[in-house]
Structure 1
């Protein structure tokens, strides 16, 4: 009997439902993902309405592909933390206001009567890269989300590492500088200096200083334009040669090198996979990060570690949610 997995990716701006098929031997095949439906996350609707909409999408996808619940091996739910993966409870994520102690696994089990599993998005991303992407075949891997924020999923000795209470991998909280952009509630943190949000903060702080000195950057001639300085806008400008934007990425890249050295020295991984911003802006970040890394990391540990872009790119969220199922149950 053909078997299917369902993945649910819950985010602050959108949710996605993915239908996957196959067996262990099918990992990485192009047709592994059968279908995907995206819906906007309207936070004001609250968890009950959003979860009900996700139920409807799951049922719609199953009807479209003539899938019966008896053929579904499980549902994997990926969501930003904090959460408790063992009890299946979402615990007040900052990007999901009102999602306080939501027993999401219990709800999905009661609705569909199939095995259901919950992981934070960084852990799910690590599983996806480990099973399908750049970390395939590695026993010790780190996945850095490197998106709006900065988190890590850790694969150690071939297993996902959660820590004592699901807090392993919260690398965004590490302080890299005494002062700097705020991320994860801490000035000068890894998230504050190396994330989409952090890059925008660096740019706004520098632009404000230059404007006040009477030497505004061309990309931001006055204070009214500060909010337009997003990581994407800066990356586009830097790729066209804008010196201000290139300097912002240089600052972020140098701090990335420091953070990578810390992770390599402590965890001795084979590979560190960086997603999102790093993948899209590699040429703006990596050369400076690499210089710092060569200087700061233990040479013996660095010699066995590769730092690479996400192998799944913009599709990592799709594979991440399905990977949660695959890591918990085997396709038959």
Structure 2
């Protein structure tokens, strides 16, 4: 049976309202409306307008829409449907987003953080199809996880399950989640850039050149992407930076494998784009650290949905709310 779903993807720089049709195990993206994220009042007004316009333009009544799903960075309270001051959304303090959407549309709404939403998307429609116990890692600007355990999304006692970026893997290292040597510090775009800037400065102080940075004055322009490009072009320093990230990725994955015994780990963003730079060191750490019987049944794969994951994520929250 075909079901109409609506999704709201709230990001730090842009938002989208999406209309999708769920047909069995397949999800069709029918229409999408995008607009910039500004202050909270104007953005909420834009969400309301886009939602109501989309329903009107697609001839959808409230009775014809099964659910609305919202994907947003945390912290948030998914049980109450409240956004609670995410660092990338200034002024979004105690915003009752699901209640507002229900008032505007007459349709039941559900909220999940972006890692959980992406986990649902990759599990149902991407690289995790067929999994029963799956971990999704964001590995983008930051590092978070969404957990599918025994065929259901697991969010913990108060929605904080999967905040693995906070785990400390070393006493020293790049800062992530406000903690030196954290999983996010080693395995995120920001963390890789920090590590690259530190190593580049060491080279500059020794009078050496750096392939991905022309001078100390340009250190702030270094990104994980620019380092990856240099590594793919054969630069040894850039390759070493990704080797370090891959080593700690393997350590962190070993903890997840030994603790959760998943059949699949799906890794997004940087791993999906540059996994070949991380794979050897990651595998070496896994071989050294993970419990062999648990490692043997776990496949580690890149995310499959690419740039469309945000669309699928919010709609997947809606689909999950039907269960």
TM range (shorter): over 0.9
Q: Does 1:220 align with 2:213?
A: yes
Is the 2:52–2:105 Cα contact (8 Å) retained in structure 1? no
TM-score scaled by length of structure 2 = 0.97
Contact 2:52–2:104 (CA under 8 A) maintained in structure 1? no
C-alpha displacement of 1:227: 1.4
User: C-alpha separation between the residues in 1 aligned to 2:140 and 2:34?
Assistant: 19
1:127–1:160: 8 Å Cα contact kept in structure 2?
yes
Partner of 1:85: 78
Deviation at 1:313, TM superposition (A): 1.7
In the alignment of these two chains, the number of paired residues is 323
Distance 1:184 1:52 in 2: 31
**Residue 37, structure 1, aligned to residue 33, structure 2:** yes
- Structure 2 stretches of 5 or more lacking a match? none
Note the C-alpha offset of 1:298: 0.4
Q: CA deviation at 1:66?
A: 2.3
C-alpha distance in 2 between matches for 1:35 and 1:158: 29
Distance 1:3 1:301, change over 3 A: closer
1:327 is paired with a residue whose SS is: helix
**2:37 is the alignment partner of 1:50:** no
Instruction: Return 145-154 or 47-56, whichever deviates more.
Output: 47-56
Structural mapping, 1:75-224, within 5 Å: 75-224=68-217
- Structure 2: distance between partners of 1:170 and 1:22: 30
1:152-173 alpha-carbon deviations (Å, 9 max, x no partner): 0001111111111111000000
Aligned-partner Cα distance in 2 for 1:89–1:219: 42
Contact 1:2–1:71 (8 Å) recurs in 2: no
Deviations 1:107-156 (Å, cap 9, x if unpaired)?
11111111000000011111111111111111100000111000000011
Counterpart of 1:308 (choices 292, 301, 320) is 301
Residue pair 2:133, 2:149 contacting (<8 A) in 1 also: yes
Spell out, residue by residue over 1:62-99, the C-alpha distance to the aligned partner (whole angstroms, 9 max, x if none): 23322222211111000011111011111111111111
> For each residue in 1:234-284, what CA deviation from the matched residue of structure 2 results, as whole angstroms up to 9, or x when unmatched?
112211222222111111111101000111001000000000110000111
RMSD, aligned α-carbons:
1.4
Moved more, 200-209 or 236-245: 236-245
Match of residue 26, structure 2, among 9, 25, 28: 28
Superposition TM-score, scaled by structure 1 size:
0.94
Greater strand proportion = 2
